[in-house]
Amino acid sequence: MVRVALVWKCALLSWPAASMRIDRLGELRQETVDMFYHGYNNYMKHAFPEDEVRASAEKKPEPSFKRIHGLTLTFSCLSHQLRPLTCGALTRDRNDPTRIELNDALGNYSLTLIDSLSTLAILAGGPKDGTHTGPQALSDFQDGVAHFIHHYGDGRPGPSGQGLRARGFDLDSKVQVFETVIRGLGGLLSAHLFAIGELPITGYDPKASTGESASDDPLQSAPIAWPNGLKYDGQLLRLALDLAERLLPAFYTKTGIPYPRVNLRTGIPFYVNSPLNGGLDSSGAIPEERLEITETCSAGAGSLTLEFTVLSRLTGDPRFEHAAKRAFWEVWRRRSEIGLIGNGIDAERGFWIGPHSGIGAGMDSFFEYAFKSHVLLSGQDMPNATTSRKQSTTNWLDPNSLHDPLPREMHSSDAFLQTWHEAHASVKRHIYTDRSHFPYYSNSHRATGQPYTMWIDSLGAFYPGLLALAGEVDEAIEANLVYTALWTRYSALPERWSIRESNVEPGIGWWPGRPEFIESTYHIYRATKDPWYLHVGEMVLKDIRRRCYAPCGWAGLQDVRTGEKQNRMESFFLGETAKYMYLLFDADHPLNKLDAAYVFTTEGHPLVIPVKKHERRTRRSRGTTTGGKASAGQSHERSVSVSHVDRNFTNTCPAPPRSDLLLTGSFTAARRDLFGVSRFTNLYNTPNMHGPLQEVLVHEENKGLVTKYRAVSNHTLFPWTLPPTMLPPDGMCAAPPQRIISAIEFPAADAASSLMSRFGASLDWLSYLGPTVKSLEGLRLQLEREFSQRYGEHVWKITHVGNTQLGRHETVFFHAEHVRHLRDEAFTALRRKDVVDIQLLVETSFPTNASASSASSSSYPTSPFSDDPLAPEHTSSSPSVLVGSSQHNNQQQGSLNNVLQSESLFQHILRAVTSVFDPSETTAPGDDDDAATSSSSRDGNSSNRPPLLFYSWQALTSIGAGSSPVPTILDTPSPHSPSYDPSDPVANFPWTSIYFADTACAGPLPESIPRDHQVLILRRGGCSFSDKIRNIPGFVPRKSALQLVIVVDDPVSNTRTTGQRQQQQRGSGKEQQQEEEELPRPLLESEQLTPNGITRVHGVPLVLMRVGRGEYSLFERAVGVGMRRKYTIQSQGHIIENAVVL
């Protein structure tokens, strides 16, 4: 009985820690509502109808710091008062067009009101905690819509379309396309969806007025009478269409990537090369110094699909959806060979500007829209194929007329999901960094993955929330910890935080009220139900109210360290930051329980494609099928289903962890790596001003002894609002990992060689996979020891070559001629006995225009579709990699895994180098006819032969009693090798006489075959390897006689049943890769015999290799066959995992 009582008592004690109290959540909701209305009411009172509330704050002096007993004293932060915001409107700076940070977003169309409407609608749907939620917020929402219509008209062409301020968006404002779409267009569409009831507002039932009926015109909905006298009939949708049509000129580019800016009234006269302007040469139109910049960014060009798709579906006008999707795919098509997108991109030429890649500014929302477009389009029809011109308020423009129609696959939901999978895989592989105290997302080189900058971008704080939405919850939790610790340290997120300096980047320490961190906190809480995130939200709310309050709104922070305030309240503070915070504290909000494919845009506006509209426009039921093609007049098609289920990717969302398994109720608070985050952000050295304070007497020259306060402890745990009851009573943090670093320095002939090697002169960058070492003289390598899943033991990884830091997955290539003789404890080359490379020089007779050497798998990520319309475009910073095989792995993850293997690395570098040596060559056809020849031979000595191609495969040596060592010849030089002779390629190959004997199972071969041919090509199957050798007649060893038997495993020689082959062809890329890895070494179970049964005096070497479909026929055109041995590199008894010998 006592035990039962104790257990029940423990359960009662743990319950308060398991979740935040309901009354406390209500208080936080009300504080959030008050925060929103303080900003909104002051905007409407002092700034509307201008864009934003203006602020003016005098610079706050730096607080004085003093170190006493290891703690930092802050003398001025407790009593210093800032000058408040001065009430007034903030508008465009027409006198200084270069102020794009202001002019890009502010278009003179009441931006803050548009951004706030969806937040008002969400507050209207919440519980009536106070005076400004429920019915009051609904009334404010409806009044806000009425105010906007009063100033900008109702979107019709007649008199009612003229507003007090403008007719729609007929404004002389040059704005940024991206900002206008996400803020203006997204805000209007979201408010419209709330107004017509497609997004939920508790207690709001939008019924048509008595006697009114819906129109067939999608722009004219049945009027809904509101208490303020407005009859809402789609005014915001018509205004959204007007705004979007004014943005269409920006899409008139040859690339399909929109220009960054457009004038809402005049279009793009400043982009003189646009097809809309006749493609005139700029020299005769506008002075060079006044030419408009054509650089946009991946996020700006690729993050338009949500708003434009919803607009097209609501209006029946497909122009916007097609244009936005084309822009998205054009950006994605230009990703690098390692799957990374860049930041800046030229809209006219499609070239990347700069090598920077990451998840932050300039790239952030591209990843977001890849996944959210999948959600939005889930279960939807294909878009309209025809266009209606009615209700256009501008000159009719359709930039899609410049381009071919998008393939149907590119409109599908699964296509966007596959893009997200591939993009996420590349980010996790090349941007995610775990070489510090705690993992983080770096900024890397787009083409190679090398670390590029050493700072964290505050805009990247959105990424954990996106990961949670996509089911990558564990990764999301880990990523969000870094931003939580940084917020705890600075009570805001600095725009950039230096990893190297462990401090704010000089001059870039502002926080303008950005929502990304609280957005991620909201999404992770929805995925985990962990109350830890409620306390994170509580911390953010308290810090904002304490640091950003002013009488006329909420000011951004110009410097998170000093508290200096900005002269502005950004519209997204009310449109996003307050919105996500409110939804975090209202678990029962109808939007949090909406069973629909809705999404938040990157500006925080909820959007959904209405189900009623979808059902009304579908011409046949879901359960019926048609027996032929759709008629020409049918405007909708069912979405194309593209298989995206791959075990390499996350295909389901995990259930929230059970909080009852921990007394604290929080798995995040119980993580053992929390101190690692605190150490990484230097939070553990930051005084905790929210904890107990101690009085200290300090002498000042003018005042004498003055009482000041200091924190009695530093931060260790976070957030600072976390109650002690959520901490495990026996919680322990993991010990910081010990990094074991080693260095290898090769001797230099002189000081000059050492200096040149240190600065990278000894490296060639022939491939995105990593550098190739040209010379070992003076070369310095830095290595770090880590555990390898591949080898199941600790290995070395090269992290630096000279002063060059490598990316996490970059490989260092060495020439065998340079290292194969080295036998030193620090650097040893060990020859592998199980595998060799078989090399082939192939004669081709078809036109050539590029270079390639072959492989049996694709060496770069491809699109989700077999016809590959989205293959990465090769740019000047990426070597041109062409493939001589048709065995494309259609999944990026599989492709990336493939290149981890030495064979694929070697084959890739061969392709890259061949393109460098001979740019006139091209790849062989990917699917040649497999015409098997029972007996044929080719002599390599001929003149005036057509261009030659170089191929390489990995081959397995034989084992067993009958195995014989491979020939003792010098390694055949490859095109990149120091000993290669480019003047006579055939002379580099030791064997030029080849014979094809099919399977060699029918009986003994003619005696002349091994006597007159150096290489015998056999197909796998039909009989055992020993039987194949037995059917080779005896011969006298000499240079022109048989040297090597190559058994080829290809799709034709595979002896499995047809059903098995079909099942293999239906298998995923991963299964095919596993099959390649499982190719066994050929077993010769008995000693070698001649056809007469006599034991061979001189054994015949045999190797087994697998080729792709159509590659067997390459041997028929071969003019030379060679072999290179394979090596592994060791240092101090451990393998150097990312060192590959060519």
Number of Cβ within 10 Å of residue 846's Cβ equals 9
Assigned token pair, 510: 């502002």
Nearest to 296 by CA among 260, 332, 324: 260
Tell me the range of 1-15, 140-154, 388-402 where mean pLDDT is highest: 140-154
- pLDDT tens-place string over residues 494-540: 999 999 899 999 999 999 999 999 999 999 999 999 999 999 999 99
pLDDT band at 905 (very low <50, low <70, confident <90, very high): low
pLDDT(866) > 50 = no
pLDDT(1015) > 70 = yes
Q: How far is CA 437 from CA 233, 434, 678, 683, 904, in A?
A: 57, 8, 9, 12, 32
- pLDDT tens-place string over residues 453-478: 889 999 999 999 999 999 999 999 99
pLDDT, greater one: 983 or 485? 485
pLDDT(185) > 70 = yes
pLDDT(265) > 90 = yes
pLDDT(279) > 70 = no
Angle formed at CA 672 by CA 670 and CA 673, multiple of 5 degrees: 120
pLDDT band at 906 (very low <50, low <70, confident <90, very high): low
Decide if 392 contacts 246 (C-beta within 8 A). Answer: no
**Which of 406-415, 483-492, 561-570, 947-956 comes out lowest in average pLDDT?**
947-956
Cis peptide before 49 (omega within 30 of 0): yes
pLDDT(867) > 80 = no
DSSP 1052: T
pLDDT(258) > 90 = yes
How high is the pLDDT of residue 95? 79
pLDDT band at 1052 (very low <50, low <70, confident <90, very high): low
pLDDT(482) > 80 = yes
- pLDDT tens-place string over residues 878-894: 322 222 333 333 333 33
pLDDT, greater one: 669 or 1069? 669
Angle formed at CA 260 by CA 255 and CA 261, multiple of 5 degrees: 125
Q: Any residues with CB less than 8 A from the CB of 883 and at least 6 apart, and which? A: 852, 854, 855, 858, 859, 911, 923, 926
DSSP 251: G
pLDDT band at 608 (very low <50, low <70, confident <90, very high): very high
Q: Residue range 894-903: average pLDDT?
A: 38
Number of Cβ within 10 Å of residue 751's Cβ equals 9
User: How much of the chain, in percent, has pLDDT values that exceed 70?
Assistant: 77
How high is the pLDDT of residue 8? 31
Residue 179: active-site member: yes
How high is the pLDDT of residue 651? 83
| φ, ψ of residue 25 in degrees (nearest 5) | -60, -40
Assigned token pair, 15: 């319950």
pLDDT band at 907 (very low <50, low <70, confident <90, very high): low
Check 129, 179, 307, 971 and give the catalytic one: 179
pLDDT, greater one: 905 or 251? 251
- Annotate 338-377 with DSSP letters as a single string: TS---SEEETTT--EESSEE-SSTTTHHHHHHHHHHHHHH
pLDDT(313) > 70 = yes
pLDDT, greater one: 91 or 510? 510
Cα(936)–Cα(933) distance, integer angstroms: 6
Cα(715)–Cα(688) distance, integer angstroms: 5
**Which of 373-382, 393-402, 447-456, 800-809 comes out lowest in average pLDDT?**
393-402
Q: Any residues with CB less than 8 A from the CB of 870 and at least 6 apart, and which? A: 329, 332, 333, 410, 862, 863, 864
Cα(735)–Cα(714) distance, integer angstroms: 19
Check 129, 330, 409, 516 and give the catalytic one: 516
- pLDDT tens-place string over residues 786-798: 888 888 899 999 9
pLDDT band at 729 (very low <50, low <70, confident <90, very high): confident
How high is the pLDDT of residue 941? 45
Q: Residue range 987-992: average pLDDT?
A: 90
Q: What is the mean pLDDT of the chain?
A: 80
Sign of torsion over alpha carbons 264, 266, 270, 272: positive
pLDDT, greater one: 733 or 832? 832
pLDDT, greater one: 287 or 816? 816
How high is the pLDDT of residue 657? 75
- Annotate 770-812 with DSSP letters as a single string: EEEES--TT-EEEEEEEEETTTTEEEEEEEEETTEEPPTT--E
Residue 516: active-site member: yes
Q: Residue range 1000-1026: average pLDDT?
A: 92
Assigned token pair, 54: 């203006």
How high is the pLDDT of residue 794? 92
pLDDT band at 161 (very low <50, low <70, confident <90, very high): very high
- pLDDT tens-place string over residues 952-985: 889 999 999 999 999 988 888 887 788 888 888 8
Tell me the range of 568-582, 661-675, 721-735, 874-888 where mean pLDDT is highest: 568-582
Check 104, 321, 495, 530 and give the catalytic one: 495
User: How much of the chain, in percent, has pLDDT values that exceed 90?
Assistant: 50
DSSP 574: I
Decide if 620 contacts 637 (C-beta within 8 A). Answer: no
Cα(994)–Cα(1122) distance, integer angstroms: 12
pLDDT(305) > 80 = yes
pLDDT(599) > 90 = yes
Residue 364: active-site member: yes
pLDDT band at 606 (very low <50, low <70, confident <90, very high): very high
Q: Any residues with CB less than 8 A from the CB of 360 and at least 6 apart, and which? A: 441, 443, 456, 457, 458, 459, 460
Angle formed at CA 262 by CA 353 and CA 55, multiple of 5 degrees: 90
- pLDDT tens-place string over residues 835-856: 999 998 888 765 443 333 333 3
Please tell me whether 602 is known to bind a ligand.
yes
Q: Residue range 1003-1011: average pLDDT?
A: 92
Cα(320)–Cα(334) distance, integer angstroms: 22
pLDDT, greater one: 772 or 860? 772
How high is the pLDDT of residue 660? 62
pLDDT(1068) > 60 = no
- Written as one letter, the residue type at 334 is R
DSSP 1095: B
pLDDT, greater one: 531 or 619? 531
Cα(1072)–Cα(980) distance, integer angstroms: 34
pLDDT(627) > 50 = no
Q: Residue range 225-232: average pLDDT?
A: 95
Q: Residue range 1083-1108: average pLDDT?
A: 91
Number of Cβ within 10 Å of residue 643's Cβ equals 10
Cα(116)–Cα(43) distance, integer angstroms: 10
pLDDT, greater one: 1036 or 601? 601
Check 52, 364, 519, 543 and give the catalytic one: 364
pLDDT(411) > 70 = yes
Cα(191)–Cα(115) distance, integer angstroms: 9
Decide if 385 contacts 238 (C-beta within 8 A). Answer: no
pLDDT band at 33 (very low <50, low <70, confident <90, very high): very high
Q: Any residues with CB less than 8 A from the CB of 939 and at least 6 apart, and which? A: 992, 993
How high is the pLDDT of residue 1054? 56
pLDDT, greater one: 526 or 950? 526
Decide if 604 contacts 580 (C-beta within 8 A). Answer: yes
Give pTM, 2 decimals: 0.81
